[in-house]
Amino acid sequence: MALRHSPAVALSLLSLFATAHADEVALSTVNVTAKGYSSSDLETPVSAVTLDRAEIDRRGGQNLGDALRGEPGIAIANDSAQGQNPILRGLGKESIVLLVDGMRFNSAQPAGAIASFMSLGMAKRVEVVKGAASVLYGTGTLGGAINILLPQARFMPGIGIEAGASFDSASQGVRGTAVANASAGDHALMLGASLARIDDYRSPEGKVSRTGYDSDSIIGQYRFRIDGQQQLRISSQWHKDNDVWYPGSTKPHPTNPAARSTTLHSPEQERRLLELGYARQGAGEAPLNFDVRIYRQEMERQIFAYAHWLNRDIVTTKVTFRTDGIDAKADWLVHPQHLVSVGINAWEMTGNPDRRMAAPPAFSLFSANNPFQDGKISALGAYVQDDIRLGKLNVLAGVRHDTVKGDADSMSNGMRKTGLANEEGALSGNLGAIVEIAPLLRPYANYARAFRAPGMRERYESGLRGDGYFYAGNPKVDAEKADQLELGLKGASDKLSYQVAAYHHRIDNYITGQIITGAAAGAICGAANAAYCKQTKNLGSATIEGIEANARWQAMPGQWFTAGFSKVRGTNDDLDEPLFQMPADEISLGWLGETLPGVKGDFTLRLVDRQERVASKFTHGTENPTPGFVTADIGASWRFARNQHLRLAIKNIADKTYYEHLTEGISGQEIRAPGRSLQLSWRGTF
């Protein structure tokens, strides 16, 4: 049997609990990301979401944000068709960690979605942990973590192939995926490829220009089985996007805001990953499982600013963010009801942007204007986690310490070369418990302490941001520290499963922008940006509170109904106003059931409330209320052969004109969501 890509104890832990709780485990979703190894959701005192391949296909998810849209506690921020960033409990891309096969994506992301650097078409599962998760994943996990699990090489005799293809009418988009696995003796090889050719999509108001793009992905993995307990692996991933535009980034140009505007776009962007790993699965009554990996990941981007009045680029930026990392984990089943895990993570990200800007009035002469040179952020963290079952009670406790360092040779186009280094230590922890009063009544409580060290852009880059201000970087900004308390209920039977969670989240040293005026604004941001100048600083605290719920009920054999609810309230404690870009309240309703032999139908309804809670002071009046909307999707999946599925769906049945509150763009000019779209997809195995 193949070992998991991450050190899992599925055999030792789940088989143990299955002896006394077989029905519960069978009914519960298994999640790897929440505890760092395979565990039952019903025995985990945190909120988690798991989408398998079948559910991703049913939702017609074109990218990560699209697949998670409508999930309680999750909202989507977007600046393009491709740039769809998940928001976890009101916290955005800077405050969540995205992982692929447990390895974190690192990039200073000025536009688009970091998740767009991989193909969702090859994903086997998407796992989301909502809420502070620094114990396992270190800096940046105030809002949670998202782990996308790709295919792994398997020791199965012969050759197996899984393939899929899809078409949607809104964008005339075509996607295709194929993954092959071959095994012989102690050798296993997996190869996969995916492509997408997407045109500008159509909204009810007409085509939305510059929303098309092309993508290509290739993945591969080779495993060598040393013996029944040990394996070596080498993994490689490559992804490339071409001609990606970000319409939500369109902004007036400072020289003539009334008549001139610019839009960011990426002619090319590419990700390359190479991983070497070793895994050992323990045996006996107290097995010790171990996994270690070293990896290098490069995320290469071109970010250009296109001047609409000139029909050409006036800013070009080329940069590669390189991350070298090492992860080591061990799980020890000390006792049949007691599992201890430890881990060490270390990584270093470097970046050296080459930015050239054309000078007014002709915008024909380009000169270097590099935001920083040879930027570097490194992190070293170690953790220990204890997972104990005491009868009906499951306790999860962990503690972690991290040291994060930042430095650069210069910033502001070489004008500043001193005082750029910063180092900070952080202690994280969590203590949670869940108790089974009855199979359908499992209350839980969880306290977590998390932190977020400032990113490379916040430390060293000065430029326009999404709230309409020009931000001046600050290499001395401190890490955010967050405390979260979550109370909830879970339960599952053969006919009903549900979860309800309420949380209170306080963030201290909140990293944001302090408005600068007068002569200081001209000195910090430049004369052209003095009227809309902010400097990145720690400004006291922010508070986020919310409640979310979801349920799945089998009303009759083969007929399931689902419901979800999400409500988030964020407060900027220093300005005494709502936090910037808080998601709207939302209710989702759904049905999934057998309609004909081999055919399952489904229906999904989203009811999104008007969002009037806006950050007027913080954004200088640029965040405005968003109208509420209702959308409906319908589909049918036909299993026409043993391993062959065909799906037909209609998204946005009523051709509703709408946009999410977290859509980037000038108020009144936000890009509208796709209109009515026919989706046809196929997936099969051979």
Q: How far is CA 16 from each of CA 281, 338, 448, 610, rounded to the nearest angstrom?
A: 16, 11, 28, 48
pLDDT value for 4? 36
pLDDT of 17 over the 60 cut: no
Residue 297 has pLDDT above 60, yes or no: yes
In the block, residue with structure tokens 């199979």:
439
What's the pLDDT score for residue 412?
87
pLDDT value, residue 44? 94
Beta strands in 509-576 (DSSP E): 511-516, 533-538, 541-556, 559-572
Residue 467 pLDDT exceeds 80? no
- Do the Cβ atoms of 423 and 403 come closer than 8 Å? yes
Q: What is the mean pLDDT of residues 642-666?
A: 94
Q: Is residue 143 a contact partner of residue 129, using CB atoms and an 8 Å limit? A: no
| Helix and strand counts by DSSP (H, E) for the chain | 6, 42
Residue 466 carries which side chain, given as an amino acid letter? G
Q: Which residues contact 517 (CB under 8 A, 6 or more apart)?
A: 533
- Looking only at the bridges linking them, the beta strands covering 144-149 and 96-100 are parallel
Dump pLDDT digits (tens) for 199-257: 999 999 999 999 999 999 999 999 999 999 999 999 999 999 999 999 998 888 877 77
pLDDT tens digit sequence for 546-599: 999 999 999 999 999 999 999 999 999 988 999 999 999 999 999 999 999 999
Q: Is the pLDDT of residue 8 over 90?
A: no
Tell me what pLDDT residue 620 has: 76
Cα 144 to chain centroid, rounded: 9
The encoded tokens of residue 390 equal: 């005491």
CA dihedral for 160, 167, 220, 12, sign (positive or negative): negative
Q: Is 34 a residue whose pLDDT tops 50?
A: yes
Please report the pLDDT score of residue 259 as a whole number: 77
Mean pLDDT of the chain: 91
Question: What is the pLDDT averaged over residues 527-555?
Answer: 90
Q: Tell me what pLDDT residue 649 has.
A: 97
The span from the CA of 395 to the CA of 432, in Å, is 6
Mean pLDDT of 521-546: 86
333: confidence class by pLDDT, cuts 50, 70, 90: very high
Using the predicted structure, report yes or no on whether residue 494 has a pLDDT greater than 50. yes
Domain ranges, ordered by start, for the chain:
10-685
Over 70: is that where the pLDDT of 155 sits?
A: yes
Q: DSSP 3-state assignment of 669?
A: coil
Residues in the chain: 686
Q: How much is the average pLDDT of 520-526? A: 84
Task: Give pLDDT, residue 6.
Answer: 37
User: What pLDDT band is residue 198 in, cutting at 50, 70 and 90?
Assistant: very high
- Rounded to a whole number of angstroms, the distance between the first and last alpha carbons of the chain is 21
**Rounded CA separation 317/469 (Å):** 20
C-alpha–C-alpha distance, residues 373 and 457, integer Å = 12
pLDDT greater at residue 463 or residue 315: 315
- Residues 100 and 6: beta-carbon distance below 8 Å: no
DSSP of 213-263 = EEEEEEEEEEEEE-SSSEEEEEEEEEEEEEEEEEEEEEEE-TT-TTT-EEE
Task: Name residue 164's beta-bridge partners.
Answer: 177, 683
Q: What is the DSSP letter of 441?
A: B
> Three-class SS of residue 414?
coil
Burial (0-12, 13-18, 19+ Cβ within 10 Å), 596:
exposed
CA distance 91 to 275: 30
What's the pLDDT score for residue 265? 95
Q: Quick one: 10-685 is in which CATH superfamily?
A: TonB-dependent receptor, beta-barrel domain (2.40.170.20)
- Alpha-carbon distance of 125 to 55, in angstroms, equals 9
User: Is residue 28 very low, low, confident or very high in pLDDT (cuts 50, 70, 90)?
Assistant: low
State the Cα–Cα distance between residues 606 and 523, nearest whole angstrom: 48
In the prediction, which pLDDT does 7 show?
34
Q: Is 5's pLDDT higher than 50?
A: no
Q: Which of 23-27, 405-409, 418-422, 524-528 has the lowest mean pLDDT?
A: 23-27
**Position 24 confidence tier, pLDDT thresholds 50, 70, 90:** very low
Q: Average pLDDT, stretch 82-93?
A: 92
According to the model, what pLDDT value does residue 319 have? 94
Predicted pLDDT of residue 466: 59
pTM more than 0.95: no
Predicted local confidence at residue 472, as pLDDT: 85
For residue 331, the SS3 value is strand
Band of residue 27 on the pLDDT scale cut at 50, 70, 90? low
For residue 108, what pLDDT is reported? 80
